[in-house]
Structure formats: structure tokens, C-alpha cells
Amino acid sequence: MTNKINTQIKIGKLKLKNPVMTASGTFGYGLEFEKFFDLSKLGAIVTKGLSLEPVKGNAPQRIVETPAGMLNAIGLQNIGVKNFISEKLPFLKKYKTPIIVNVYGRRIEEYIEVANILNDTEVEGIELNISCPNVKKGGLQFAADKKAVEKIINGIRKKYKKTIIVKLSPNTGNIEDMAIHCERCGADAVSLINTIIGMAIDIKTRKPILANIFGGLSGPAIKPVALASVFKVARKVKIPVIGIGGIMNYKDALEFLIAGATAVQIGTANFIDPLTCIKVIKGLHDYLKENKIYDINKIIGTIKTE
């Protein structure tokens, strides 16, 4: 038996050297982190959500710290897909790491247009954000609407040939039903969870702290909810599930893999320690070695419920 550890996993047409990706919106466009570590070490980079045109985002205040987490209401501020392609992508492609663009649309057609533009670039996959809780148009409006989701995925599939991931949230409806629906519509994978709707109030002014009133809760506070969602969904679909929510270290990541996730994304932890992804990659590798598990795929979905 060889001592080489295989950490490679597959998501649709994408082959990742390890299952650790960055979560959208917490890693900028990737380049912001190149001063901290070699981005080639990541399984994949998932960008901030991109729309057709640049978006200014919500008015401040847009972030609040909470016990074991944070609330954000950024409002999907971004430079727009065309600026991303001309200004960021050429530099990102220096690294041997697949780039997945998180796509956000205010209309069904916008998702399709952004995907079509990305089809002709070196971006290897897209993650459709149909589950953002802090924008007035788009986002959650689609998360509960099966017809809209079908139109988005079918519309994209007409031209888009690469990997399509759909990002889900437990904020609306039944996340298992929606995951099954996405699989039927032709999604290559689902990622979950997006942030959970929350709010905070200033007791002096009695006003909501976030200008948007509501924000998305992330960080360790949501990990149990995320883990339960991944466990439930992974039992219902055959496509890969990507686990997201409160992952701070390799042990958290392992829980998600054991629950059935093929890969994980790391979000809020990047703000606390920009090296978290690298530490999780090393931690997973060392765990496999110590336990003589030579292929990471052997751990996926191995939860024992009896």
C-alpha cells in the first residue's frame, strides 16, 4: 500500500486537488489574499457574487458582530462580471486553482446573461446565489420559487457547458425539496447553506443596527444548522453537496464530510484568520495520514446513525 494520500475530489466536471474552497463574499475576488498564502494550494476559489452591472450595495451600517458569528447586509456590492473578467481574472489565472464565480441576478435573465458571458472565459464553474437574504430584488425571492429556479438552470444550460452549482438556504421552504429539484433541473452540485436571516437592535435608539434592518447570520453560530441541512440533503440527492457554515478548523470540515459533503467552503473564518483555509487543508491531510485513510473520498458520507 502506498503512503500517498489522495485528497482529490470531483464536483461536476471540476477536479479539485482538495475539498477546501473559499466561500463567496468572504475572500474578495481572491487576489486580496495572495499576500497571505499561495492561492494554488486551495481546492477552488469562489468569488464574491457578480451581477451583470456593478452594484453599490446597501447603505452602512452593513456588518454587526454577534455571539459566535456576524450579521452582514452588504447587499451584493460588486464590480460587475465584465470588470471582473478584464481586471481580476488574468491575475487569478496565474494560480493553478479553479475559479468558480458566484452569480447573482435581480432577474432570471440576468443569471443567464452572466453565465453566458462566463462560458467564454477561463472560469471553470459558476455558483448560482439564489439564496441571499439581504437584497431587495433577487436572492431569496428565487430560493422558494421552483419554477424560477428551473428557468434559471435550463436557461443557463442552453449555452453554458461547465459546472453549475446552486447555492441554497434554509431560510425558505424545504431545502431538501429544493436540492432534489435542482438535481432534476440539471445542476451539477448544490452548496449549502447561505446565511440565515437575522437582525440586531440598538437599545438606545431602538433602531435596527443594520441600515437594511435584516442581515445574514454566519459563523460558528450557524454550524449546527448547516450540518443538519447537509446531512438531510446528502441523503436525498446523488449530485455532490458542498457544505458551508461556521467551519473554523479541520475538525469542523471533517464533520461536514462525514455528514455527506464532498467539499466544504470556508467563509467568516477568513476574517478572523486569513490562513484558515490552508490550516484546514493541512489538518485534513494529517488526519487522513494519522488514521491511515489514503483517500479522502472514503470518509465522505460515512456517518453512522445506528
Ligand X SMILES: Cc1cc2nc3c(=O)[nH]c(=O)nc-3n(C[C@H](O)[C@H](O)[C@H](O)COP(=O)(O)O)c2cc1C
- DSSP summary character for residue 39: G
Shortest gap between Cβ of 34 and ligand X (angstroms)?
19
Query: Where do the H-state alpha helices sit in the chain?
Result: 81-83, 89-92, 108-119, 140-143, 146-157, 175-185, 223-234, 250-259, 269-272, 276-290
Could you tell me how many residues of this chain bind ligand X (CB under 6 A)? 26
Q: Catalytic: which of 132, 182, 185, 277? A: 132
The values of phi and psi at residue 112, to 5°, are -65, -45
For residues 232 and 175, the answer to whether their CB atoms sit within 8 Å is yes
Which residues between 63 and 82 bind ligand X (CB under 6 A)?
72, 74, 76
- Closest alpha carbon to 84 in 44, 126, 112, 43: 126
Q: Which one, 97 or 270, has the nearer CB to ligand X? A: 270
Is residue 277 annotated as part of the catalytic site, yes or no?
no
Burial class for 56, CB neighbours closer than 10 Å (0-12, 13-18, 19+): exposed
Q: Which is nearer to ligand X, 76 or 99 (CB)?
A: 76
Residues 76-135 that bind ligand X (CB under 6 A): 76, 102, 129, 132
Closest approach of ligand X to the CB of residue 81, in Å: 13
Gap between the Cα atoms of 303 and 204, Å rounded: 47
- Stretch binding ligand X (CB under 6 A), from 3-11, 17-25, 37-45, 279-287: 17-25
266 binds ligand X per the rule CB under 6 A:
yes
Instruction: Tell me: does residue 26 bind ligand X (CB under 6 A).
Output: yes
Residue 208, CB-side half-sphere exposure with 13 Å CA sphere: 15
Catalytic residues: 132
User: Which residues would be at the binding site for ligand X (CB under 6 A)?
Assistant: 23-26, 48-49, 72, 74, 76, 102, 129, 132, 167, 194-195, 218-219, 222, 244-247, 266-269
